Each structure stands twice: as C-alpha cells, then as structure tokens.
Amino acid sequence: MAIMSFIFVFFFFSSLQPILSLYEDQVGLMDWHQQYIGKVKQAVFHTHKTGRKRVVASTEQNIIATLDLRRGEIFWRHVLGPNDVVDGIDIALGKYVITLSSGGSILRAWNLPDGQMVWESSLHGPKHSKPLLLTRNLIIEKDNVLIVFSNGRLNAVSCIDGEVLWKKDFEEESLEVQQVIQPPGSGFIYVLGFAASSQFEMYKINAKNGELLKHESTAFSGRFTGEVSLVSSETVVALDSTGSILLTISFHNGKISSQQTPVSNLLEDSPGLAVIIHPSVTGIFAIKTDAATIFIRVIGEGKLEVVEKTNHETVVSDALSISEGQQAFALVQHAGSSIHLTVKPAHDWDSNLLKESIKMDQQRGFVHKVFINNYIRTDRSHGFRALIVMEDHSLLLLQQGAIVWSREDGLASIIDVTTSELPVEKAGVSVAKVELNLFEWLKGHVLKLKGTLMLATPEDIAAIQHMRLKSSEKSKMTRDHNGFRKLLIALTRAGKLFGLHTGDGRIVWSHLLQSLHKSESCRQPIVLNLYQWQVPHHHALDENPSVLVVGRCGPSSDALGVLSLVDSYTGKEFSSLSLVHSVAQVIPLPYTDSTEQRLHLLIDADKHAHLYPKTPEAIDSFQSEFSNVYWYSVDDDNGIIKGYALKTKCSSNVADEFCFDSRELWSIVLPSESEKIITTATRKLNEAVHTQAKLIADQDVMYKYISSNLLFVATVAPKASGEIGSVTPEESWLVVYLIDTVTGRVLHRMTHHGSQGPVQAVLSENWVVYHYFNLRAHRYEMSVIEIYDQSRADNKDVWKLVVGNHNLTSPVSSYSRAEVITKSQSYFFTHSLKAIAVTLTVKGITSKQLLIGTIGDQVLALDKRFLDPRRSVNPTQAEREEGIIPLTDSLPIIPQSYITHSLRVEGLQSIITVAAKLESTTLVFAHGLDLFFTHYAPSRTYDSLTEDFSYALLLITIVVLVAAIFVTWILSQRKELQDRWR
Amino acid sequence: MEKGKGVMGAGRRWAVDFSDNSTAPSSRDIPDPPGFTRASVDQDDSAVSRQKKDAEANWKSQKAWEVAQAPFKNLLMMGFMMWMAGSTVHLFSIGITFSALWQPISALQGVGKVFEPYKDNKVDLLGPKLLFIALNLGGLALGVWKLNTLGLLPTHASDWVSSLSPAQEVEYSGGGIPL
C-alpha cells in the first residue's frame, strides 16, 4: 500500500506543471550573487574634482571595469570575449575610456560614467606586431588624437568619433616596433624598434599627417632581447639577449648614438640573466635578476649609476606626473607581515614623498602590481593612493597607511569547487554572531503576522523584507537540519583556497597554499584540482573534514606532483607532500579507512598507480578490493582510450608497497582521420539513484542500466573541430559512444551526420544528454540517450518478486555482459551552451532537471521530462498519465525557469550541484567571473513548509480556537443549568 | 441493504406473536419443568397448530430466500456506480470502491444475524445462506476488480520493483583525460 500511495503521490506531483519561478520579494532569500573582475592588468585613475572618483581597470580575464574609489564597487563592467584580449586602456578627453584589444586590431571608446560604447574602429595592418597605445594631449586641427601602433601600422585616430586621420605602414619584414614616443610639446613622433634583432631603427614621423621625417638605424653586434625602457624623451635602454650588456641609445635630434655597459661593471657579483622592468620614469630604469632588483640611473651621455639594489621582492609603479615637470613613482617592498609603500620623485632618488608601512595579510602573498594616483591634501601637499594587485589576484586600495578597501578578485578564476559540511552545533557553544533574543523573535513574528494579515505599513514591509534577507539563521556557522548551510571550498588559479558560506556567500576563510607556493624545489607550481579527502559522518565525527589539493611543479605532464591537505573548518593546511612522481590522474576510490579518509589512486605519467593515504590500514582495505579496481585514460590528442587493471607491486621502485604496476586490458583506437575526441562525460561519483526500475505506461517496467563505470565520449570529424560553419554538412559528423570502462565494451554508438561540436554533455543515472550544432538544420540540438538493461526485463513474475526470489539486487559485474537497449531522441534548442549540469538530490527520488548555462550567462532549468526518448506526437492515455509530454521538435524555454532570475553569471564556466539533506532541494553554485548560489527544488519543496509560512498565525489560530472552545463550553453549561432550573 | 433490514425487522415482530417460544434457543437454557416432556407436547399438538407451523416455516424459508437475494440488487447498483465513477484515481472513485469493498465484508460478518429470525427446525437455511454469501463474495470481487482497474492492487511486477535500489557493482573504474 505504501508503494501504491507513493506512486499516487508521485503521479499527483508529476501531473502538476511546476511553477518554479520566484516572486519578486523572494529574490535574495536563498540566492546570492557576487561580481568580480579578475586579476588587474592595467589601471587608470579618474580623479577629477567633479563627479565620483573612479578607477578604470583592465584584467587578464579581458574585462574592462570602472570601480568606485571609495568602496571598490563596480560601476560598470564589460566582458570582452575570450579572444578579445585587452592590450591597453586609457582615459581620453576626461570622459572616454579607450581600450585597444584583440592584438591591437580593435579600438573602442566607452563613455566613462555609464560604460556605453561611444565608437569602435578596427585597425588592420600589413602584419602582426606588438600593439601600443599612446594617448597624450596631442591635438591636430582642434581634434584630440590617439596614436595607436598595431599590426605594423601607425594610426592616428580621432578621439571624438574613432575616425582614422592618417596611417603609416611599417612593412619592413623583420622590424619589431618597441616604443612609440611623442615628446611633449613637439609635433613629431618617434617610432623605435629593432630590425632583425640586431639593428636599432628610429623613425621620426610628423604627428600632423604621418609623413616620415627621418629614418636612422644603427647596428649592434649582439642581439636584443626585445624589451626597451624609455628613460627620457630621447634616450632608451635595452638589454642584449645574453642579459649581460646594457645599451644606452640616445637619438637626440635624429642622431643615434649608443653606448654599451656590461652589467658586471655595475654590479660586483655577476647577477646572472637580467630582465629589464621598465617603470618609464625619467632617468631611472630597473633590471631584475633572480636575486635582486637593481635600480639604475642614467646620468649624462650614457653614463649609468646604480642607485639601489634590493634583495626583496620589489614592485615599481609607472611614473605619475604630479606637477609641472615633476614625476613620481611608487615602490612596494615586502618586510615580514607588512609592506612598505614608498613614493619617490623621479629626479631625486634619496628623498621620499611618502613612506608608509601597511600591515598586510600573509594570505595575500606578494604584491604583483602597483598603480598610484595623487591628490592634493588640504595643506596643498601631495597625497598618494596606491592600488595594488596581490599574488592571489586580490585588489586593494591603500591610502594614508591603511587599506581602504579590498576585493577578492581571485574568485573570478575558480578552477574547482567542492563542498564541506559545517561543524555540528554543540550545546552551550554559541556560534552565531547575532543570536536573536526572545523579544526580537517575537517582534519579528508579529511583523510577519501583520504582513500576512495585510495590516503592515510600507515601513513594516520593508522591515520584514530586511529581516528575511538578513536572517541570521542562514548564515550561522553550524550544520542545519536541512543541509542548506555548507561551506563551498573554491580553488582559484592563483593557488588560493576560499571557504565560502552558502548562506550569504561571505568568505569564511581563505588561505594561500604554502606548499603550492613558488619555492626552490617547485619553480612553477600549478594547481590542478580539488578532491574531498575526508568526509566524516558516522564514527569519526570528532575529526574535521578535509580536502585534497593536487598540484604539480611545472606545466609539463611529467612534472612532480604536490599534494596538500587542508582542514575544511579552518582552511589551515595540516599536511603537504612533495611527491616523487608526477600526477597524470587522480582517482578517488569508493573506499574509506576507519577515520573516513577516502582512498585515492594517483596515476603517474609512467602509468604506475600510487595509493594514498600511505597507511597500513589503507593498503589493507585496498588489498581486499585490489582485483576489482580498474582505471582508464582518454588520450584526446591521438584518439585512444585505454583501460588498465592493477598488477603487482612496482617493479622499479625499491620496496614501495603503495605503488602498483598497471596492466593494459583493452584499448579503443578511434580512426584519427575521421574522428577526434572532443568531450567526455561520466557520472558523478556521489550521485544517488533511488531505483533501478523505470515504470512505464500500463504498469510495465524497464530496468535502467545503472553503472558508475559508464563513459560518454563524443567525437567529431577532425575537419569539423573548428568553429561552427567552417565545414559543410557533408564533411562533418558527430559520433557518440557509451563505453563500459571496466571491459572496454562499447555499449552504444551513434552517428549524427551533418553535426558539429562543441559538445556539452551530462551523464546521470542511465541517461546522457548532449548538446551540439546541426549544420543541416542550422540550429543547435540536444539529444538524449537512455540505456536499459534488457537482460533483467524478464523479471516479471509477481510471485517471485513478492517472496524476494530474484537476483535484481545481487552485485553485478561488468563481465556479465548485460544485454542493453538504448532509446534516443533529438530536439532543437535555441541557445548555445556554456555549461550543463543536472540537479542532484540526496536520495535521488526527486525528478531531475537539467541546469543549462546559456550563452547569455544565465542558468536555465529544463525538466528532464522534455528530454524523454519515449515522447511521441500523440501519447496514449496511459502515457499521458505517466507524464509523457507530446513530442515537439524544439525544447521550450520557459522564461520563469531561469534560476538566476534577472542576474547574470558573467563568463559562466561551470554549474555545480550539491544535494541538501532535504530530498526536494538541490544547492546550485554557478561560477565564472561572477559567483551565483541558490537553492533549487526541481519538484517544488514538497517536504517542507515554505519559508514565508507564518508560524505565528498558526499558533494564534490554535490559541483562539482553544479559547473559543472553552468559552462556548462554559456558556453552554450555564445555559443548561438555567434550563434545568426553569 | 436497507430494504433487507426492513424485511428482517418485520419478520421478527411477527415471530414474537406466533412462534412457539419453546423452540427459541434462549428458552433452551432453562430446564423443562419436571414431568414435562417436549415430545408429548408435540404429540399433543392438534392438526391445526401443525398446519399453522407448516405455513410459518414456509413463510420463513420464503423470507430467508428473499433476504438472501437482497445483495443482488445491491450488486447491480454498485456496478452502475462503479461504471459511473470511471477508472481514474480520484476521491469519488476511491470512495465508491472502498464502500463496495466494505459493504460485502460487513454483510459477511453479520451472516448469522441476518438469518437469525428465520431460524426454524423445519426451515433449511443453508441454501439462502450460501446464496447470500455467494452474492456478497460477488460484490467483494467486484470491489477488488474495481480496485485493480484503478491500479491500486500490487499485481504487476512494477509494484514490487519500483523502489528496488540499484544493484551494487563489483568492479570500480575511474580515470579520464589526464590532468
């Protein structure tokens, strides 16, 4: 009966068309949204007296943003495409932000106050070259002009409308232009560069019309490294390719004179290979060696003098002209837990305009960049503010010795995310920052009641809304009953680990991983991935959960690996390992030891498997499952998928009992001339599946083929692996495979002719949904494949099932070769996709919805029922009862089902779903440049009261009813008595 | 059923007036007075009273048959109601089905009571009782059939496997594109 009632309820719910949209006042209750800009590459201040003070920044994530200088908030922000790299920004005319992007071929002007694009012009030229943007107050015939050198062409562009006033080509093949200089007040432009790496070239151009005035060149015996530093308006310094000779080149009045100074002359100890860092400060340049940064002053005719040599990490800002003819620049140096900010005038090294020491969080690492800006204090002296970019990509504004604001822009480049539970609430330990007292609680409920009874004034409504949004319940630091409060642990590209609270998105802790920091043993650390190492629940509750961060020293795949174990509650790194082998793959195994540490298998480049943690207990529990552990690797370059089993202990290593050799079991070689692997997808390890049976119309049953060893592979024709539309439909195809990774058996193969990638796929339970482009129909398509186990289908005898005489729950082996059938169907879909995920609930009972990251950076929920291969144009009555939707050629996009509602997750990269403890609810976290988090209930919250349920109203109703019962009882008693007396 | 009860009630009132109390089971508990033998009383009965008794027994068996046939009408009505209720699961059809199941069951429980007024040495109640039981069982069967058509009986394999958790896998395989 319970089964029947469940089915009844299920039908009841599935027959409802769920309304999943939010009401306006529900925005922000369950969701939060954070905006970031990424690591700042270049920043320009705009601090005129009128209007709000702001800073314009371009970042490595190709964003142009203006930030409020007071608080660091974003005024406006534009995300240029991934191929539209910003080369330079500047402010022109005090009202336009000029950006040069795409290797110098696109010049745009944006309106500074609101970020609207004013004009755009594309600058093309004869050849590719380093793009240079120059904005000085150059005026040609009352027109402010930008000088842009890009693609081998010098352009003068009008600031007003982006019109190219004149252009001059530099077609010489080997010419590499390094600098474009316009001496202030002069009417000409110098274009400096190297030809054939050994010849210095100087062109003098008339700024009015682009006419070549003079061309000089001088040869140099060595070769140039490329970088030049401009030390005055007519002198540059360059370094030769060996890094040992400094060249001072001056081109006064068009005459080139050069002077060579060996670096060793300036420094007693030979510093090794040096690099010029150009602060572009008059008279001073800096070279950087491995050990030190050396500041060198140019005095007179090519004479060089070392002014300072610092062994610390030092960062120099560009020059800032503070008054007529006076320039200043900033130096930032580290000293222990604080940083020293020094602002010096360009002409006098020994004096300081400003010297401040600021306490800096160690977890931010070194300073990477500094930008300065000045302001006039009330006593007419100069004050300076500095914008610094730290190693963890965070952005800070320093002013008057303090940090005015900071932005955690490292969160714009999240590599991987996992979640962790919060600590259990212990009796007597208050963990909430603001515990509500009874009075406040009562007041809140009275307000809510007023709202329910429509008695609330507008102020009350505002107060209720504020109370709902700022509920301390959701941001407590303890586990809650519904499993909504968790820690999101995010690993960023900078190697910093963040713990974010799911309630309000605040950063609970953040740590720069020390083991993945640049060091002697690890020159070029790269963080790779994040895994759950220890998830204590049953018998190890006193242990803190922890995560595993995997990194490697160097970009190549055979570089040595680094493991770091981080406590999820505190973010402290409690253990780190420098491995003696490389890390090609990390395989979390479904086994844990007695302290709930998950066993992990690390595969190195030589295909040895290493077991972690390296404890005797781990090896004991692993030995018992040894013969059942397999692994596979997908070589997408060569189109080979190989499966391995573990063999004996490593033969090469000396007595390492945690190392195992691999034995190749099977391989699938795809023909390289016709197929290229572009996407793979597997099931999530932690996905719960409620049932293996799928009930279909007329009480029939199909058995799902549920295997965690299922791999989805999509291949396209090699020709068609480029952009959409680069091939004709005839020479383009998409082939999808479903492969069992234990035996290498191809369970299903299907070809979509005339289709092309990119393919986005998600595999869950027994189905896979993938998205691709159909060239014939000129539309995007989504397909679904469902896979069923036919060999179980004859389990139809009710009596056998009643008495439990069946083998449906006995363990299955991939070697038993289940007979499978697949069903598939395709539909048109309007959007192109950035990411796709599926909702995940704790027991897998709730119906699934697909979460689609659209090209518009929003997350759209699409019911899986729309992607059911059993849909037909005219479903029978029984099928309709089952919930099958009549077939349509395209999938509907219901505007209310955007779970990001009005927000956008700029640069959306991936969508992560985590099950809450409440079966109906999934936690959804979408990240890209922005972060977005919300709760989502695919079949509505059928297992809990809604958040706006008024407990007070219920309570009052009960009290009133009880009182009414008493009163009427007394009255009736009295009346009865009177009646009897009568 | 209401009609049946009416018939039965009337019969009882009549029975009080005309029947011989000595045959009533309740009087059997009291021992006969000394010197009184039941057989002699029977023998002493006049032909008139015998005739009377015969008529009464006839009447009783006739009534008993009537009572026994009463569920048939009920059955027809129930069938009509079920047909009206349709085959989809909703409040009305569920109510009808459950009342269709409950009525025969409660009637079967009270078989003895229903036929109590017609109990007579000379009346054979087995036939009517069997008919009554058979008709009620028919009603029950109709109810069960309706339950089945509504899909509320676990008669299909799907009802037993719908929450069967997936089988455990022996092998485990992991991996993917190298990092």
DSSP per-residue string spanning A891-921: ----GGGBTTTT---TT--EEEEEE-SSTT-
For residue B62, what pLDDT band results from cuts at 50, 70 and 90? Answer: confident
Say yes or no for a CB contact (<8 Å) between B176 and A680: yes
Judged on CB neighbours under 10 Å (0-12, 13-18, 19+), A82 is: exposed
Structure tokens at A563: 């493991």
* pLDDT for the residue A823: 92
Collect all residues with Cβ–Cβ distance below 8 Å to A759 and sequence separation of at least 6.
Answer: A678, A679, A714, A716, A734, A770, A771, A772
Cis peptide, bond prior to residue A613, ω within 30 of zero: yes
Q: What percent of chain B has pLDDT over 70?
A: 78
Say yes or no for a CB contact (<8 Å) between A629 and B89: no
pTM: predicted TM-score of the whole model, two decimal places? 0.84
Quick check: B27 pLDDT over 60?
Answer: no
Cα A471 from chain centroid? 28
Put residue A940 in one of left, alpha, beta given phi > 0 → left and psi -120 to 50 → alpha: left
CA-based nearest residue in chain A for residue B168? A811
Say yes or no for a CB contact (<8 Å) between A634 and B175: yes
Say yes or no for a CB contact (<8 Å) between B166 and A704: yes
Cβ atoms of residues A307 and A286 within 8 Å: no
Residues in A 811-840 with any Cβ partner in B closer than 8 A: 811-815
Collect all residues with Cβ–Cβ distance below 8 Å to A282 and sequence separation of at least 6.
Answer: A231, A232, A233, A319, A327, A346, A347
The residues of chain A scoring below 50 in pLDDT are: 1-19, 429-434
Say yes or no for a CB contact (<8 Å) between B168 and A811: yes
- Beta pairing partners, A915: A922
Say yes or no for a CB contact (<8 Å) between B167 and A809: yes
* pLDDT for the residue B11: 47
- Candidate from B89, B157, B172 with C-beta closest to A801: B157
* pLDDT for the residue A960: 97
d(CA A728, CA A13): 46
Specify the 3-state DSSP secondary structure of B15: helix
Nearest CA-CA distance, residue A815 and chain B, Å: 9
**Residue A941, CA atoms < 13 Å, CB-side half-sphere:** 17
Cβ atoms of residues A63 and A38 within 8 Å: yes
Say yes or no for a CB contact (<8 Å) between A689 and B89: no
Collect all residues with Cβ–Cβ distance below 8 Å to A404 and sequence separation of at least 6.
Answer: A70, A72, A385, A396, A397, A398
Structure tokens at A152: 């081998």
Q: Which residues of A touch B152 (CB under 8 A)?
A: 4, 8
Most confident of A189-198, A276-285, B54-63, B155-164: B54-63
Q: Which helix (H) or strand (E) holds A798?
A: helix A798-803
Nearest CA-CA distance, residue A140 and chain B, Å: 55
Say yes or no for a CB contact (<8 Å) between B170 and A813: yes
Say yes or no for a CB contact (<8 Å) between B159 and A813: no
Angle ∠(A438,A442,A447) on CA atoms, nearest 5: 150
In which order are the strands placed within the sheet that holds A496-501? A414-421, A486-492, A496-501, A507-512
- Candidate from B88, B158, B165 with C-beta closest to A701: B158
Residues in A 765-804 with any Cβ partner in B closer than 8 A: 795-798, 801-802
Taking alpha carbons only, the member of A212, A99, A109, A120 closest to residue A166 is: A212
d(CA A949, CA A450): 13
What secondary structure letter does DSSP report for A360?
-
Structure tokens at A399: 């002013």
Taking alpha carbons only, the member of A737, A772, A738, A767 closest to residue A755 is: A772
Q: Which residues of B touch A6 (CB under 8 A)?
A: 162-163
d(CA A612, CA A588): 10
Judged on CB neighbours under 10 Å (0-12, 13-18, 19+), A624 is: exposed
Say yes or no for a CB contact (<8 Å) between B165 and A689: yes
- Count interface pairs A-B at CB distance under 8 A: 156
Q: Which residues of A touch B159 (CB under 8 A)?
A: 3-4, 7, 699, 798
Cβ atoms of residues A620 and A592 within 8 Å: no
Put residue A581 in one of left, alpha, beta given phi > 0 → left and psi -120 to 50 → alpha: beta
If you write DSSP's letter for every residue of A609-625 in order, what string do you get?
EEEES--HHHHHHHHHH
- Candidate from B155, B156, B177 with C-beta closest to A636: B177
Nearest CA-CA distance, residue B107 and chain A, Å: 25
Collect all residues with Cβ–Cβ distance below 8 Å to A102 and sequence separation of at least 6.
Answer: A83, A84, A85, A87
Residues in A 703-762 with any Cβ partner in B closer than 8 A: 703-704, 706-709, 741-742
Q: Which residues of B touch A919 (CB under 8 A)?
A: none
Collect all residues with Cβ–Cβ distance below 8 Å to A609 and sequence separation of at least 6.
Answer: A601, A602, A603, A631, A646, A659, A660, A661, A662
Say yes or no for a CB contact (<8 Å) between B158 and A528: no
Specify the 3-state DSSP secondary structure of A1: coil
Amino acid identity of residue B36, one-letter, is F
Q: Testing the interface with A: which of B152, B163, B172 to mutate, by most A Cβ within 10 A?
A: B172
Q: Which helix (H) or strand (E) holds A786?
A: strand A779-789
- Candidate from B158, B173, B174 with C-beta closest to A693: B158
Say yes or no for a CB contact (<8 Å) between B161 and A801: yes
Say yes or no for a CB contact (<8 Å) between B156 and A699: yes
Q: What percent of chain A has pLDDT over 90?
A: 28
Residues in A 481-520 with any Cβ partner in B closer than 8 A: none
Which residue has tokens 């954070």? Answer: A34
Q: What percent of chain B has pLDDT over 90?
A: 3
